[in-house]
Amino acid sequence: MDLSSIIMLMQTAMAQAAEQLPEATSAITGDDIRLAGAMLGAGMCMGFGAIGPGIGQGFAAGKACEAIGRSPENAGLLTRTMLMGQAVSETTGIYSLVVAFLILFVLS
Amino acid sequence: MDLDPHIIELIGRYLGAGVALGFGGIGAAVGMGLAAGNADEGIMRQPETQSQMVRTMLIGQAVGGSPSIFALVIGLMILFVPSASLSGTETTMVAGLIAAGIAIGLGCFGSGLGCGWPAAAGCSGVARNPRHASRITQAMIIGQAVAQSPSIFAAVIALVLLFVNFAPGAAEWAIVGIAIGAGIAMGAGGLGPGLGSGVTAGGAISGLSLWPQTYGTTVRTMLIGQAVAQTPAIFGLLIAFIMMFAMQDIGDGIIGFARAVAAGVAVGFGGIGPGIGSGIAAERGCSASAARPRIEALVLRTMLIGQAVSQSTAIYSLIIALIILYVL
């Protein structure tokens, strides 16, 4: 079988597929795919984005508890430092939230 | 390519059981190994505590092994329950089989590892303080029981996915999405809380072995910390039940599928970090309140503030999941 006949076979197969395609997938439009992709993207964005801040803030809180156990008289200072550290650790979580909102409400 | 429906069903059964046992076995195996390692170390240091140590180790391993037994039972159900007694049509039944495997596999991974943590801490504690072995063992069992609850939630969701006709009236592909989404929401959502509550219990038991007279204070702090660490698992359970039984119209075809899977991924994976993080915070809180019970209130306050901040990303995930389900 030479090259031209293979190309011809492929062309007929593609033409047949193109004829069948609209019937098989007529229910799905481009907007549907776009919305579905937006929802999946936002879900993954927030879901995976929440892992890091959660663990990081827990570390900070744990160390603060440990330190307060050792020197309770500095509790105010330690709690303040803990909250400041956690706020910085929170930023990536907020980035995820903002990007998820952007995907859901601005881009979709 | 047309596949025989029977072959598709078999693929679903093999995949579901493989995920269930593959992931469900990891946590418990590592946890029991940790316990055995610490018991060996303890016997090496204090050979006269051998009989007490073996008892504590075996109790800890027996309780810590139960998540893997849940996974085994559900895995055998996925493999062998006749298709006539499973719910759904041919397609949705296969989705239910795979989703049940995801739910129980990931859910038991976290709980299994989480139950091993207190068992390991208990063995070290008995070596350190053999006179108070019974008290240490008691606290270990309480901590393990709480760490186990995500695996029980996961077993409930897996059984619902297998046997209950959920989401009546939804389109076929939407039901497939709901099954996969509910499986991820509960499975991944239970992973962090299971591990986190176990880490908390480990910290409490280590503290208790140094200061056994503070039993009441330490166990109280441990239970409060574990309860907060469990919240992401409850969010996962909530979203799974909402998708299966409370959604009026989740959408047709690809929209319904994507909506359910996206909500499940958001709330499921979003719960891993907060669950582990709150557990670490409570671990240190337990050690501190065991060492100095007089400042328990101060430690508890700091611990709860820290845990609340650590939970914030789980709440963001819940909000995004609810927006995906109800607003869009």
Q: A91 pLDDT exceeds 90?
A: yes
Q: A20 pLDDT exceeds 60?
A: no
Cα within 13 Å of Cα(B108), Cβ side:
33
Q: A6 pLDDT exceeds 80?
A: no
Which residues make Cβ contacts (< 8 Å) with residue A107, sequence separation at least 6?
A: A38
Residues B277, A43: C-beta atoms closer than 8 Å: no
Q: Distances in Å between the alpha carbon of B49 and those of A62, B46, B52, B53, B121?
A: 32, 6, 6, 6, 16
Instruction: Return mean pLDDT, chain B.
Output: 92
How far is it, in rounded angstroms, from Cα B178 to Cα B182? 6
pTM summary value: 0.89
Residues B285, A65: C-beta atoms closer than 8 Å: yes
Name the residue type at position B319: I
Whether the CB of B270 is below 8 Å from some CB of chain A: the reply is yes
Between B296-326 and B253-270, two packed helices, what is the crossing angle to 10 degrees? 170
> Residues B168-199: pLDDT tens digits?
888 888 999 999 999 999 999 999 999 999 99
Alpha carbon of A12: minimum distance to chain B alpha carbons (Å) = 19
What's the pLDDT at A27? 66
Alpha carbon of A24: minimum distance to chain B alpha carbons (Å) = 13
Which CATH number covers residue B263?
Answer: 1.20.120.610
Q: What structural domains does chain A harbor?
A: 3-107 (1.20.20.10)
How many structural domains is chain B composed of?
A: 1
Whether the CB of B322 is below 8 Å from some CB of chain A: the reply is no
Residue of A nearest to B261 (CA): A40
Rounded average pLDDT over B122-146:
93
Whether the CB of B289 is below 8 Å from some CB of chain A: the reply is yes
> Residues B31-57: pLDDT tens digits?
999 999 999 999 999 899 899 999 999
* Under 8 Å between Cβ of A46 and B272: no
What is the DSSP code string of A6-22? HHHHHHHHHHHHHHHHH
Confidence of residue B78 (pLDDT cuts 50, 70, 90): very high
Alpha carbon of B143: minimum distance to chain A alpha carbons (Å) = 18
The sign of the CA dihedral B278, B315, A97, B273 is positive
| ipTM of predicted complex | 0.86
Whether the CB of A36 is below 8 Å from some CB of chain B: the reply is yes
Q: Which two tokens stand for residue B278?
A: 């709150």
Residues B259, A28: C-beta atoms closer than 8 Å: no
Whether the CB of B196 is below 8 Å from some CB of chain A: the reply is yes
Rounded average pLDDT over A83-108:
92
Question: Among A74-88, B148-162, B205-219, B248-262, which is the least confidently predicted range?
Answer: B248-262
Whether the CB of B142 is below 8 Å from some CB of chain A: the reply is no
Whole domain around residue B261: which residue ranges? 5-326
